[in-house]
Amino acid sequence: MTNKKLLYRLFDFFSTSPAKYRNHLISFPTDAEIVQASDAGSGDIVGFFTSNSMYEHEASRMEASAKRLGLNVHTTAVDSAGSWVRNAALKPTFLLDARKAHRGPLLYVDVDAVFHRDPWPVLKNYDCDIAVYREKGRVISATILLSDTPATLRLLEVWKERCDRDPDIWDQVVLEHILNEDSLSASPQWTVGALPSSFCWIFDRLSNKTSDGVYVEQLQASRQAKAHESRGRNKMLERREQRIEMIEAVLTPMMNANRNEKAALDAAFLDKAAS
- Residue 215 makes CB contacts below 8 A (sequence gap 6+) with 115, 116, 117, 118, 119, 122, 198, 199, 201
pLDDT at residue number 20: 63
- β-bridge partners, 45: 73, 107
By DSSP bridging, strand 73-78 and strand 44-50 are parallel
Measured CA to CA in angstroms, residue 45 lies from 113, 168, 209, 223, 238 at distances of 12, 27, 24, 24, 29
Give the per-residue pLDDT at 16: 47
Burial per residue of 38-72, b for 16 or more beta-carbon CB atoms within 10 angstroms, e otherwise: eeeebbbbbbbbbeeeebebbbbbbbbbbbbbebb
Residuewise pLDDT in 10s, the chain (275 residues)? 555 455 545 554 554 455 666 667 788 999 999 988 877 568 999 999 999 999 999 999 999 999 999 999 999 999 999 998 999 999 999 999 999 999 999 999 999 999 999 999 999 999 999 999 999 999 999 999 999 999 999 999 999 999 999 999 999 999 999 999 999 999 999 999 999 999 999 988 887 776 668 999 999 888 876 666 666 677 888 888 989 999 999 999 999 887 777 766 555 545 555 65
Closest CA to 66 of 257, 254, 265, 260: 254
- The domain defined by 3-269 folds into Spore Coat Polysaccharide Biosynthesis Protein SpsA; Chain A (3.90.550)
Which residues are CB-contacts of 52 (< 8 A; sequence separation ≥ 6)? none
pLDDT, residue 6, reads 56
Are the C-beta atoms of residues 224 and 210 closer than 8 Å to each other? no
Residue 220 backbone zone (phi > 0: left; psi -120 to 50: alpha; other: beta): left
Q: What is the pLDDT of residue 239?
A: 87
The reported pLDDT for the residue numbered 259 is 76
Which H or E run includes 123? helix 120-123
Give the pLDDT of residue 42: 84
Q: What pLDDT is recorded for position 231?
A: 67
List of residues 6+ apart from 232 with CB closer than 8 A:
none
pTM of the entire predicted model: 0.86
In degrees, to the nearest 5, what angle opens at C-alpha 178 toward C-alphas 174 and 183?
A: 145
Q: How far apart are CA 140 and CA 133, in angstroms?
A: 6
Rounded Cα gap, residues 63 and 61, in angstroms: 5
Helix boundaries (H) for 143-234: 150-165, 171-183, 222-225
Q: What share of the chain is helix, strand, coil (3-state, %, to 5)?
A: 45, 15, 35
What is the pLDDT at residue 8? 45
H or E element in which residue 140 lies: strand 138-146
